[in-house]
């Protein structure tokens, strides 16, 4: 009599994919094996693609493991595999940028912060390039990075954005959203959302500085340098050094980022201004790093990393981040030392006093928060 | 489906830049207009849920707000890149392109 595991017969593919993704090591192996057998039996290319997609989060054995997919201008994720770990470079520059950029990001987290990938457990780094046409964006979908080609579908004279893999810090930014998802789990809304964005900008910039071996003083602190075409009057999407100055353009408008709490923007749009108010904590990090000197990923980066990993929670606000980074600086480098003073100076520069307990003005809660919750535009308390 | 107006707004994204446009009946070529109406028909747009988002936005994805107005009805759908059903992707792509081109010419 033919023997086979009951799992082959009973469990639907979607459930198997869940097990392959979230189960224990033994469960993952069994589910992966079943999916593979199922795919072979059906003899369908799509089934094998399903298998690859389902197993993307299974821990890599050796550490750094990357796969780059091509969406071929469609929207189905992850798409077709075009480069795997150890493969020779592709003829496609976006594929190589995604591969190299995710590699440098892995290296920063692994070499400097002793973190093995996004989940601290060797999670494979999956990236999809050529998402849709005319997709002027990159995002983290909760499982992988997704990159568009910018304005490639428009006449050259109308193009504002290049492909999103062009900027290394964008890649570091997206991967850091994954780290945040596994650690502080900052809600993507209002101040916690702006902190989520800021953490991605901080470590995105540090990935670039680490790659270039630049000191804090030598770095440009621009997020998305190279992303804007020559048609735009701008140097990038955001400036951590001088928030609000990255671009000023007839079509794109002016960079709306504040650098100080007095200019905090209260808005419903953009999940409560997560890409706007992130300028405030971004600038606090910049000032801290400049004050400390040397390589920003060493002391300032370490303080922010430990805060993200061990202290911030889903609902943390700017004041919490100020207090916690100050506390962590004392624990890592000594109370009252230069590091703590630098962190204090960083938050002072944006109008937040470390050790403060009052919510910073203007509050983004109160009536507006209640109204947003009522409208379903904000998470319930 | 006899549509008078389509309002499209895109917010969020890595750059956090908003674009929006109103497409009035007669704004587009006959061919473009028919293609758009065919997509709305195929989607049964008035029957779509108003909120086609997950629990919250995924980091840096776009959020789209699409309002279709006809003589006797009006319907708004809010969705995002990672939560939009596959069958809506063509609509998003088409409206996105119109809005981007208009933003660059205005």
CATH class, A59-166 region = alpha beta
Which alpha helices (DSSP H) does chain A contain, by range? 6-10, 13-22, 25-42, 45-54, 93-107, 168-182, 190-212, 269-273, 279-292, 299-306, 318-333, 338-348, 366-375
Whether residue A133 lies within 8 A of chain B, CB to CB, comes out as yes
Q: What is the mean pLDDT of residues A168-179?
A: 98
What are the start and end residues of each CATH 1.10.390.10 domain in chain A?
182-375
Judge: B59–A188 Cβ closer than 8 Å, yes or no: yes
What's the pLDDT at A130? 98
- CATH number belonging to domain A182-375: 1.10.390.10
- In this predicted structure, the answer to whether residue A152 has a pLDDT above a threshold of 90 is yes
The closest of A338, A314, A312, A334 to A325, measured between CA atoms, is A312
Judge: B56–A133 Cβ closer than 8 Å, yes or no: no
**Among the partner residues A134, A141, A164, nearest to B96 by beta-carbon distance:** A134
**Is the ipTM beyond the 0.90 threshold?**
yes
**Among the partner residues A154, A170, A276, nearest to B14 by beta-carbon distance:** A170
Whether residue A232 lies within 8 A of chain B, CB to CB, comes out as no
The closest of A169, A115, A170 to A146, measured between CA atoms, is A170
What are the start and end residues of each CATH 3.10.170.10 domain in chain A?
59-166
pLDDT in tens, B8-53: 999 999 999 999 999 998 999 999 999 999 999 999 999 999 999 8
Work out how many CB contacts closer than 8 A connect A with B. 103
What's the pLDDT at A61? 54
Judge: B97–A153 Cβ closer than 8 Å, yes or no: yes
- Pick the residue of B13, B16, B82 with the most A CBs within 10 A to test the interface with A by mutation: B16
User: Which active-site residues of A does the annotation give?
Assistant: 174, 275
Whether residue B81 lies within 8 A of chain A, CB to CB, comes out as yes
Residue owning tokens 């405030």: A280
Whether residue A277 lies within 8 A of chain B, CB to CB, comes out as no
Contacts of B76 in chain A (CB under 8 A): none
- Pick the residue of B10, B51, B60, B76 with the most A CBs within 10 A to test the interface with A by mutation: B60
| Closest chain A C-alpha to B93 CA, distance in angstroms | 8
Task: From residue B40, give the alpha-carbon distance in Å to each of A54, A329, B2, B95.
Answer: 32, 56, 10, 12
Ranges of each domain in chain B: 3-105
Whether residue A118 lies within 8 A of chain B, CB to CB, comes out as no
- A125-129 sheet: strands from edge to edge: A80-84, A66-70, A125-129, A145-147, A138-140
- Pick the residue of B17, B95, B106 with the most A CBs within 10 A to test the interface with A by mutation: B17
Whether residue B17 lies within 8 A of chain A, CB to CB, comes out as yes
Chain A from 156 to 175: CB within 8 A of any B CB = 158, 160, 164, 170, 173-174
Whether residue B87 lies within 8 A of chain A, CB to CB, comes out as no
What's the pLDDT at A41? 33
CB A235 within 8 A of CB A222: yes
Torsional sign, CA A307, A308, A312, A318: positive
**Among the partner residues B16, B60, B101, nearest to A139 by beta-carbon distance:** B60
Whether residue B76 lies within 8 A of chain A, CB to CB, comes out as no
Contacts of B62 in chain A (CB under 8 A): 137, 139
- In this predicted structure, the answer to whether residue A45 has a pLDDT above a threshold of 60 is no
pLDDT in tens, A56-73: 444 445 699 999 999 999
How far apart (Å, rounded) are the C-alpha atoms in residues A203 and A115? 13
Q: What is the mean pLDDT of residues A189-218?
A: 98
Q: Which residue of A has its CA nearest to B99?
A: A134
**What one-character-per-residue DSSP string does B30-88 give?**
HHHHHHHHHHHHHHTGGGS-SEE--SSPPTT-EEEEEEEEESS-EEEEEEETTTS-GGG
Whether residue B71 lies within 8 A of chain A, CB to CB, comes out as no
Judge: A196–B86 Cβ closer than 8 Å, yes or no: no
What's the pLDDT at B56? 75
What's the pLDDT at B37? 94
- In this predicted structure, the answer to whether residue B2 has a pLDDT above a threshold of 90 is no
Mean pLDDT of chain A: 85
pLDDT in tens, A291-334: 999 999 999 999 999 999 999 999 999 999 999 999 999 999 99
């Amino acid at each position: 009599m033919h023997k086979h595991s009951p799992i082959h017969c009973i469990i639907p593919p979607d459930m198997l994919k869940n097990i392959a993704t979230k189960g224990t090591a033994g469960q993952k192996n069994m589910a992966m094996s079943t999916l593979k057998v199922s795919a072979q039996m059906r003899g369908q290319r799509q089934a094998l693609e399903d298998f690859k997609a389902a197993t993307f989060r299974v821990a890599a054995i050796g550490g750094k493991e990357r796969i780059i997919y091509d969406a071929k201008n469609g929207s189905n994720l992850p798409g077709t595999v075009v480069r795997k770990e150890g493969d020779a470079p592709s003829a496609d520059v976006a594929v190589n940028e995604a591969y190299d950029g995710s590699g440098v990001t892995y290296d920063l987290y692994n070499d400097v912060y002793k973190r093995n990938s996004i989940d601290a457990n060797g999670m494979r780094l999956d990236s999809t390039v050529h998402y849709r046409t005319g997709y002027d964006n990159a995002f983290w979908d909760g499982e992988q990075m997704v990159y568009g080609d910018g304005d490639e579908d428009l006449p050259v004279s109308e193009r504002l954005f290049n492909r999103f893999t062009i900027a290394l810090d964008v890649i570091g930014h997206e991967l850091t959203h994954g780290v945040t998802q596994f650690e502080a789990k900052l809600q993507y809304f209002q101040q916690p959302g702006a902190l989520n964005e800021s953490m991605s900008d901080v470590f995105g910039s540090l990935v670039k500085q680490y790659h270039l071996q630049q000191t804090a003083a030598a770095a440009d602190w621009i997020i998305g340098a190279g992303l804007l075409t020559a048609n735009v009057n701008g140097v990038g999407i955001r400036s951590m050094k001088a928030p609000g100055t990255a671009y000023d353009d007839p079509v794109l408008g002016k960079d709306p980022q504040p650098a100080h709490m007095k200019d905090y923007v209260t808005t419903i749009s953009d999940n409560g201004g997560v890409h706007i108010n992130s300028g405030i904590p971004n600038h606090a990090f910049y000032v801290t790093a400049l004050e400390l000197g040397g390589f920003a990923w060493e002391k300032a980066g370490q303080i922010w990393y430990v805060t993200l990993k061990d202290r911030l929670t889903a609902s943390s606000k700017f004041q919490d981040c100020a207090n916690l980074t100050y506390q962590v600086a004392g624990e890592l480098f000594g109370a009252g030392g230069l590091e703590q003073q630098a962190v204090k100076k960083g938050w002072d520069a944006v109008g937040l006093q470390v050790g403060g307990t009052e919510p910073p003005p203007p509050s983004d809660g109160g009536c507006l928060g209640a109204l947003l919750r009522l409208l379903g535009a904000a998470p319930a308390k | 489906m006899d549509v008078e107006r389509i309002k499209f707004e895109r917010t969020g994204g890595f750059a956090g830049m908003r674009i929006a446009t109103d497409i009035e009946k007669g704004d587009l070529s006959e061919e473009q207009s028919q293609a758009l109406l065919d997509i709305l028909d195929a989607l049964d747009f008035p029957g779509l849920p108003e909120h086609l988002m997950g629990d919250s936005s995924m980091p840096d994805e776009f959020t789209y707000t699409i309002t279709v107005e006809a003589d006797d009805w009006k319907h708004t759908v809010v969705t995002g890149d990672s939560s939009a059903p596959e069958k809506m992707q063509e609509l998003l792509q088409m409206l996105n392109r119109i809005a981007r081109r208009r933003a660059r010419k205005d």
